[in-house]
C-alpha cells in the first residue's frame, strides 16, 4: 500500500497481548486455548509469560512447541524462595514468587512494548500483583479466571466475609448463599480459606481485594451451566469489573490423532457403547490407602466396566499389610486389595498414573466419569457429554461438587464424600450403579447432553462465548 507521496505506508502491527498464567498445566492449558482463539479469530499475536524457566515441565515444553508462530513464550528469571517455611502452601509460594518477579516482568513488558503493539496484560487468579506493572506501563489489565462463576462470586464476597466473620468458615452455622449460586456449606468452601491463620488465606484475601482493579474478567465458564450466577454477574455493580464468559476453553480433541501409548483407547474400542466408567482424580489427586481399597472393592461390587487411572496413595508409606498384597510407591497397583486385579480383569482396565483424558471422555464406550471435580476436567466432561460421580479432593473441588450435583444436576455425590470421611465400598457401588444404570444417572446424562450442545454452540461464530471474547478483543484493539 502506498501513501499520497508514492512511498509505501508501514504495515500496521498486529495487536499483541501478554498472558501470564499461574504455574501448573491446569492453569496454562485454558490460557493457551484462549491464545489460539485470539490469534485465529481476532487477528492478535500473543506472548505467554511463565515464571522460572528451570521449573518448566516436559508437558509444558511440548505444548509450547506445538503452537503457531503467532504465539510465543517467555520465561521470567527465577526468584529466591528459600526463606519461605517448609510447610508453605502452594498459594503462598505462587503469590510470593509473583510479587518478587515484578521487576523481571517490568523489563519483559518494556521490551515487548518497544517492539510490538502491546495492548493488554492478562493474568490469572494469583497474578493480581502484576497489575502494579501494568499500571506503571499504562497497559490495560485484565484477569482470566480459570474456574467457574460460583468461585468468582466467592472471591468477590471474600473481603466482606473476612471482615464480618470471626469463626472458621467450616463452622458457619448456615450455608453461604451467594447471589445466583447454590448454597454452599462452610466445610465445602474453597480449601485455601479453611484455615484463617495460614498465610495462604491472607494471600487469597489479598488477591480478592485486587480483583476489582481489573478492567475486565474473562471467565472459563458459560451461561447454561450457571445461568443464575451469569445473570447476576452481568448486571453492572459499582466497583466490580465487567465479567465476560468466554468458555468452555478446553484442550481440543482430535479423533484422527493417534497415541501409541494409549492402550486404554484400544481397550475401549472393544467395549459396548456407554458402558465404561472412567475413574481419574486429575494430575495431582491421590487417595488414602484405606480409601483406595474401598474404591477398588466398590468398583468390583458395582459390576460395572471401568477404566481407572491408578496412583499410589497419599499415605502409601503407612499402608496396612492386611489391605495390600504388595507395598511399593513405584507400583500403584501394589496398593490395591489382594486379588482385585485378577478378579476384575474381564471388566476393568487399570492404567498407572496417566491416561489421555480428553480422548477417553470422547470415546463412545465411556458412559460416566468418577471425577475430582477440577474445573478443567469438569468442562472436558461436559464438552464430551459425560455425566459424573463427584469425588472432590482439594482446591475449589468441594464447592464445585455441590454446584454440579445440586445446581447443574450433572453429577451424583456418594454419601460420605460430602463430609470428607471414608466412602465405604457399598456406597461406591451404589453411586456407580446409579450413574450408569439408574434414573438419577439417566437424568444427569440428559442434562449434560443439553449442556454439551450449549457449550459447543456458544463457541461458534455468533455464539455467546464467541461474542464475549470479540467484545474484549475490540476493546483491546482500540486501546492505542
Q: Residue 328: helix, strand or coil by DSSP?
A: coil
124 as an active site residue: the answer is: yes
In a domain, 5, yes or no: no
Structural domain harbouring 289: 263-456
Q: Closest Cα to residue 376, out of 287, 289, 280?
A: 280
249 dihedral zone (left: phi>0; alpha: psi -120 to 50; beta):
beta
What is the C-alpha to C-alpha distance for residues 241 and 63, in angstroms, rounded to an integer? 31
- The pLDDT value recorded for residue 178 is 98
Question: 268 and 237, same structural domain?
Answer: no
In a domain, 397, yes or no: yes
Question: 141 and 22, same structural domain?
Answer: yes
Total domains in the chain come to 2
How far apart, in Å, do the first and last CA atoms of the chain sit?
Answer: 22
Question: 129 and 275, same structural domain?
Answer: no
In a domain, 88, yes or no: yes
Report strand pairing: 45-51 vs 15-20: parallel
Count Cα neighbours of 294 within 13 Å in the Cβ-side half-sphere: 17
Of 16, 27, 207, 372, the catalytic one is: 27
Contact 436, 368 (CB under 8 A): yes
Of 16, 42, 104, 124, the catalytic one is: 124
Show pLDDT as tens, one digit a residue, over the chain (480 residues): 444 444 444 446 899 999 999 998 889 999 999 999 999 999 999 999 999 755 668 889 989 999 999 999 999 999 999 999 999 999 999 999 999 999 999 999 999 999 999 999 999 999 999 999 999 999 999 999 999 999 999 999 999 999 999 999 999 999 999 999 999 999 999 999 999 999 999 999 999 999 999 999 999 999 999 999 999 999 999 999 999 999 999 998 766 665 655 899 999 999 999 999 999 998 888 999 999 999 999 999 999 999 999 999 988 544 333 333 344 456 789 999 999 999 999 999 999 989 999 999 999 999 999 999 999 999 999 999 999 999 999 999 999 999 999 999 999 999 875 566 799 999 999 999 999 999 999 999 999 999 999 999 999 999 999 999 999 999 999 976
Question: 286 and 233, same structural domain?
Answer: no
Task: Enumerate the H helices of 347-395 as residue ranges.
Answer: 357-361, 375-384
Q: What is the CATH number of the domain that holds 198?
A: 3.40.50.2000
What pTM does this model have?
0.93
157 as an active site residue: the answer is: no
What is the C-alpha to C-alpha distance for residues 39 and 343, in angstroms, rounded to an integer? 51
In a domain, 208, yes or no: yes
Question: 383 and 284, same structural domain?
Answer: yes
- Cα distances from 219 to residues 24, 125, 211, in angstroms, run 18, 10, 13
Query: Is 29 exposed, middle or buried (CB count within 10 Å of its CB: 0-12, 13-18, 19+)?
Result: buried
Question: 27 and 118, same structural domain?
Answer: yes
Question: 123 and 105, same structural domain?
Answer: yes
Question: 343 and 400, same structural domain?
Answer: yes
Question: 111 and 57, same structural domain?
Answer: yes
Question: 302 and 289, same structural domain?
Answer: yes
What is the C-alpha to C-alpha distance for residues 411 and 414, in angstroms, rounded to an integer? 10
In a domain, 9, yes or no: no
For cell 454452599, the residue is 184
The strand order across the sheet containing 141-145 reads: 71-76, 45-51, 15-20, 117-124, 141-145, 217-219, 243-245
Question: 452 and 463, same structural domain?
Answer: no
Question: 326 and 238, same structural domain?
Answer: no
What is the C-alpha to C-alpha distance for residues 17 and 33, in angstroms, rounded to an integer? 14
Q: Closest Cα to residue 376, out of 221, 160, 227?
A: 221
What is the C-alpha to C-alpha distance for residues 455 and 384, in angstroms, rounded to an integer? 10
119's enclosing H/E stretch is strand 117-124
Amino acid at each position: 500500500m502506498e501513501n499520497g507521496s508514492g512511498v509505501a505506508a508501514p504495515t500496521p502491527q498486529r495487536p499483541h497481548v501478554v498472558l501470564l498464567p499461574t504455574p501448573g498445566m491446569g492453569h496454562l492449558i485454558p490460557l493457551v486455548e484462549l491464545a489460539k482463539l485470539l490469534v485465529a479469530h481476532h487477528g492478535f499475536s500473543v506472548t505467554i509469560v511463565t515464571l522460572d524457566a528451570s521449573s518448566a515441565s516436559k508437558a509444558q515444553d511440548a505444548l509450547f512447541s506445538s503452537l503457531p508462530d503467532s504465539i510465543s513464550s517467555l520465561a521470567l528469571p527465577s526468584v529466591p524462595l528459600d526463606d519461605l517455611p517448609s510447610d508453605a502452601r502452594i498459594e503462598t509460594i505462587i503469590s510470593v514468587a509473583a510479587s518478587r518477579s515484578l521487576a523481571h516482568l517490568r523489563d519483559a513488558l518494556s521490551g515487548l512494548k518497544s517492539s510490538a503493539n502491546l495492548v493488554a496484560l492478562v493474568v490469572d487468579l494469583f497474578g493480581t500483583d502484576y497489575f502494579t506493572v501494568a499500571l506503571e506501563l499504562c497497559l490495560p489489565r485484565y484477569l482470566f479466571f480459570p474456574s467457574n462463576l460460583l468461585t468468582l462470586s466467592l472471591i468477590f464476597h471474600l473481603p466482606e466475609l473476612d471482615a464480618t466473620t470471626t469463626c472458621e468458615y467450616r463452622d458457619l452455622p448456615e450455608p453461604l448463599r451467594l447471589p445466583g449460586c447454590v448454597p454452599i456449606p462452610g466445610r465445602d468452601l474453597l480449601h485455601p480459606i479453611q484455615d484463617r491463620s495460614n498465610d495462604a488465606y491472607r494471600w487469597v484475601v489479598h488477591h480478592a481485594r485486587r480483583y476489582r482493579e481489573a478492567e475486565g474478567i474473562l471467565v472459563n465458564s458459560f451461561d447454561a451451566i450457571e445461568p443464575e450466577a451469569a445473570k447476576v454477574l452481568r448486571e453492572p455493580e459499582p466497583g466490580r469489573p465487567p465479567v465476560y464468559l468466554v468458555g468452555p476453553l478446553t484442550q481440543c480433541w482430535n479423533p484422527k490423532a493417534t497415541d501409541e501409548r494409549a492402550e486404554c483407547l484400544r481397550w475401549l474400542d472393544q467395549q459396548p457403547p456407554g458402558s465404561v466408567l472412567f475413574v481419574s482424580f486429575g494430575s495431582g489427586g491421590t487417595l488414602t490407602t484405606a480409601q483406595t481399597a474401598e474404591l477398588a472393592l466398590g468398583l468390583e461390587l458395582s459390576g460395572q466396566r471401568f477404566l481407572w487411572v491408578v496412583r499410589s496413595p497419599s499415605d502409601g508409606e503407612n499402608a496396612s499389610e492386611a489391605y495390600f498384597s504388595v507395598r511399593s510407591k513405584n507400583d500403584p497397583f501394589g496398593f490395591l486389595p489382594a486379588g482385585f486385579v485378577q478378579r476384575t480383569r474381564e471388566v476393568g482396565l487399570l492404567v498407572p498414573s496417566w491416561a489421555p483424558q480428553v480422548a477417553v471422555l470422547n470415546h463412545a464406550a465411556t458412559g460416566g466419569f468418577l471425577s475430582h471435580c477440577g474445573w478443567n476436567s469438569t468442562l472436558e466432561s461436559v464438552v464430551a457429554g459425560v455425566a459424573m460421580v463427584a469425588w472432590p479432593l482439594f482446591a475449589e473441588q468441594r464447592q464445585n461438587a455441590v454446584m454440579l450435583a445440586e445446581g447443574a444436576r450433572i453429577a451424583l455425590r456418594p454419601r460420605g464424600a460430602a463430609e470428607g470421611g471414608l466412602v465405604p465400598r457399598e456406597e461406591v457401588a451404589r453411586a456407580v450403579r446409579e450413574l450408569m444404570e439408574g434414573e438419577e444417572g439417566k437424568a444427569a446424562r440428559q442434562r449434560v447432553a443439553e449442556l454439551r450442545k450449549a457449550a459447543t454452540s456458544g463457541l461458534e461464530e455468533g455464539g455467546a462465548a464467541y461474542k464475549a471474547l470479540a467484545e474484549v478483543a475490540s476493546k483491546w484493539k482500540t486501546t492505542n
